[in-house]
Amino acid sequence: MKTRLLGMNPEELRKVAAEAALPKFAAGQMARWLYVKKVRDINQMTDISKEGRARLSEKYEVGVSAWTDCRISSDGTKKYLFPVEGIFGRGSSAAGRTEKAAVEAVMIPDKDRATLCVSSQSGCRMGCHFCMTGRQGFHGHLSAADIMSQFIAADESDMLTNAVFMGMGEPLDNYDNVMRAIEILTAPWGFAWSPKRITLSTIGVLPALRRYLDESRCHLAVSLHNPFSDERLSVMPVEKTWPIRDVVELIRQYDFSGQRRVSFEYTMFSGFNDTKRHADALIRLLSGLECRVNLIRFHKIPDFPYGTSPDVIMENFRDRLGRAGITATIRTSRGEDILAACGMLAGKHRTLQDRETDNEI
């Protein structure tokens, strides 16, 4: 199997250039082709000699994985399915073959913005009860190449304005690969995006969260969902290891009064976390912190006892936070009809081999 160039930084590309007997400046050429021109084949790197490209191709490939399925919502949201290298699902096909894993990414258009919601893992280890990704178990970490491939292979690649690490998986559980992807997105030799265009969402993996806050200037979104520890624990097992109060106390140590923002994601479940008692506890938890609370409608999934809160309850909850000085908004739901909304990504797919097997039967 060839090594993928996608995901490499200039230092690594210099080593590749040396191995292929190319001049040092070829590393910069390769970076430009990978991250500015977004080519998918080494032979498209036309300012590298034909002989040099041939030597590169002996051991290396660009490594962009084309999407294998795309579904378009009535609101313009698009959900892509991508295969991932070296990761396999739990199931086997009828012929006994292990099924290669796939992940989903969602492109969300909004006036002059095009945001890509990317995945960082196949499955997830956090096990939140209301999340379809968490229910499928954990299959593996995505490499930086797998993450960047989502940005390049999406049809809207050249139109993207923002990125959110809110797809499948817990980004801070795959810290090194996610931060490599963020480096490529923000570096002058990469996509050259401002950190303000990127948001990372986490349930609060404390050791990695501290590193992220120290090493990045990108925005942060924290999945909170309940201010009471015992209630949060009943749907989010991570509360036992990293309590939300400890997460908030860590965040208080950092400055969010400038360009970097922190928000708290709060999916509203009818009768579970949408009462005045919950609103007041949330106010106490976040008091004095420069932040925003995003109230999210829950999209019903099988075998979960709660439905979404009625609009009037969500509005009252929002207004109660607002009167206490906490900015709160009700997030517009996008892509629900194609299972692309919050918590609904499951990476369901069938391989070409499976379909061929069905045809044989």
- Residue ranges in the chain assigned as alpha helix (H): 10-19, 26-32, 50-59, 132-135, 144-153, 175-186, 206-215, 229-235, 238-241, 244-251, 276-286, 311-323, 352-360
Q: Are strands 98-110 and 113-117 parallel, antiparallel or unpaired?
A: antiparallel
From 186, 95, 105, 107, select the one nearest 142 (Cα to Cα).
105
Could you give the CA distance from residue 188 to residue 297 in angstroms, rounded to a whole number? 38
Active site residue 360: no
Go through the chain and tell me how many residues it has. Answer: 361
104 is catalytic: yes
Quickly tell me which residue has 């709160």 as its tokens. Answer: 328
Interhelix angle 311-323/276-286, nearest 10 degrees? 40
SS3 state at 334: coil
The closest alpha carbon to 203, from 177, 228, 166, 234, belongs to: 166
Surface-to-core class of residue 68, CB atoms within 10 Å of its CB (0-12 exposed, 13-18 middle, 19+ buried): middle
Task: Say how far apart CA 152 and CA 118 lie, in whole Å.
Answer: 12
Of 117, 124, 128, 342, which residue is the catalytic one?
Answer: 342
Give CA–CA dist 83/64, Å, rounded.
10
**Which is catalytic among the residues 104, 170, 239, 265?**
104
Q: Which residues are catalytic?
A: 104, 342
